[in-house]
Amino acid sequence: MSGPAAETPSAIQICRIMRPDDANVAGNVHGGTILKMIEEAGAIISTRHCNSQNGERCVAALARVERTDFLSPMCIGEVAHVSAGITYTSKHSVEVQVNVLSENILTGTKKLTNKATLWYVPLSLKNVDKVLEVPPVVYSRQEQEEEGRKRYEAQKLERMETKWRNGDIVQPVLNPEPNTVSYSQSSLIHLVGPSDCTLHGFVHGGVTMKLMDEVAGIVAARHCKTNIVTASVDAINFHDKIRKGCVITISGRMTFTSNKSMEIEVLVDADPVVDNSQKRYRAASAFFTYVSLSQEGKPLPVPQLVPGCGKPLQSPGT
């Protein structure tokens, strides 16, 4: 059982200067790099809170990221300031609000680049399949708890619906026509190693998100053949843990284009190759939105998606 309510933990901040390997060829920082920093800050503060009272030790695992908008590009040489604070706790989950500022250290100018809401669940260190109870927090006003409870119920319902909404995977097509779904669809296969994982043997959520953004970026670049940047990410749902030693397939395909943007669906499937008792399963899913930019950073029109064959689907595990 949980003990008495604890004071809401103070917000934490992590800072890092953006290096050339964090960015694309145009100098814009990859959306996946920013998502990874957001998750790191969220994991720190939620794990601290979940271990703030006497009881079984645990680690906070990412379950969901709400829609994240990329309000302004971040560039090489700027410093990212990532701030995280806990805004709500349920019996088994923690809501964390994260803000990202970029700082030009030559001029001192700061600008807001991202705001995100993340949900974590505490997993026992003795058994990472066991979800523990979260210490409650003290709210400064009653409305905060009521508003948080509404957000919790909404995200829980959507996460359950998303898990079963789409069981297909992306398959390659020979000689696809330009600007069709098959022409730009891409997949990345990655063997999960120790550097991808927590000390307890499952993949950091930020690592998964970075790989998802990388695949989505390849799809967008293939479709436009220009410089592209992440504009927003719809809710990222983590349906199941990915363990060390799994082979994961991250697949992306174009689902919609407007005159100014592209929507790309990204699916992550895990194959426990060293465990014959478990079949391939869907680990995460999300929709990314990208925009096309000129060399001067001005928005460019997006080629329209051409209807055509090239979207053969297959259920995971077949």
User: Annotated active-site positions, please?
Assistant: 24, 213
Contact partners, residue 85, CB within 8 Å, separation at least 6:
8, 9, 10, 11, 12, 45, 96, 97
Q: State the Cα–Cα distance between residues 287 and 267, nearest whole angstrom.
A: 9
Q: Crossing angle for the helix pair 205-224 and 31-50, nearest 10 degrees? A: 160
Pull the structure tokens for residue 162: 């998303």
Distance CA 95, CA 117 (A): 7
Radius of gyration of the chain (CA): 20
Which tokens in the block code for residue 241? 């843990």
> What residues have CB less than 8 Å from 298, skipping those under 6 apart?
none
> What is the C-alpha separation between 181 and 306, in angstroms, rounded?
8
Residues 12 and 86: their CA atoms lie apart, in Å, by 10
Structure tokens belonging to residue 86: 């806990």
Which of these, 55, 144, 42, lies nearest to 93 by C-alpha position?
A: 42
Longest C-alpha distance within the chain, in Å?
63
Q: What is the DSSP string of 144-212?
A: HHHHHHHHHHHHHHHHHHHHHH---EE---SSPPTTSHHHH-EEEEEE--GGGB-TTSBB-HHHHHHHH
| Phi, psi angles (nearest 5°) of residue 191 | -85, 120
